[in-house]
Amino acid sequence: MCELFSLSARHPATVHLSFEEFSRHGGGTAHHADGWGLGWYSGRRVLLLCEPTPASNSALVRFVLSQDRASRTFVSHIRKATQGKICLENTQPFRRALGDRDHLFAHNGDLRGLERFGLGFHRPIGDTDSERAFTILLGRLEPLWLADEPPSLEARAAVVAQFAADLRPLGIANFLYSDGELLFAHGHQRTQLSGRVEPPGLHVLKRHCDDAPMEHGGLGYRILTSGGAQDVVLFASVPLSGEAWRPLREGELVVVRRGEIVG
């Protein structure tokens, strides 16, 4: 099963993916060898790097390691294919433009029966359930983002919450979605080490630093921050450190803006 990771920060943060740990997840000690991707916001645009190959032998991962890319929002995905070919089109996160900005989406799970839901303007490029789910969500968000006024947090959250509720009966439905201002994380179920499919599907960690730069060393990620008082919210399929990650309840939707949980 795939793994998800995301970060929302008060001030732009630099995320360094530890190559040794990341490569073990992407085809080494874990079986997520069918692709990887990392997207981050620069203003309203998303910079996205994806490959349909294991991260364990990726020169592009090494390139990412050598860079200091700072952003308030990162979304990352490591793939274990359940639906769709192993190809670039099916590698997550997915990016689409809607309204005046890019939107990012990554899903962990296996959904059946999405055909019952209509699409808006956007159409899938690949053949995964995850991308089709994203285009369904965008279709529901289109009336909000194409209106004259930017949509409220409450209006966006209502659409995403209903979308999540519609997905859960169709299979495992953990996902991360960002419009550049808000980050939504939906926790459902996941195949656990015991082999049982049950909650939690995502975990969350809230961290605060008053003044000094903060270094967070985790399993697969190292986050460096600076710029005064900093608040960071992290989501991950499995806890990335020995800290007190909180498991999301089944069906829980968390909304974050710039390192602060707002819903």
Return the CA Rg of the chain.
17
Cross-strand bridge partners of residue 214 = 225
Cross-strand bridge partners of residue 204 = 235, 246
Structure token digits, residue 177: 């979605």
* Residue type at position 244: A
What is the 8-class DSSP label of residue 201? S
Indicate which residues carry an active-site annotation: 2
Alpha-carbon distance of 133 to 140, in angstroms, equals 11
| Phi-psi region at 144: left, alpha or beta (left = phi > 0; alpha = psi -120 to 50) | alpha
Helix (H, G, I), strand (E, B) or coil at 118: coil
C-alpha atoms less than 13 angstroms from C-alpha of 88 in its C-beta half-sphere: 4
Alpha-carbon distance of 229 to 225, in angstroms, equals 10
Cα 262 to Cα 110, 127, 154, 182, distances in angstroms: 28, 34, 10, 9
Cis status, amide bond into 200, omega within 30 of 0? yes
Alpha-carbon distance of 167 to 147, in angstroms, equals 26
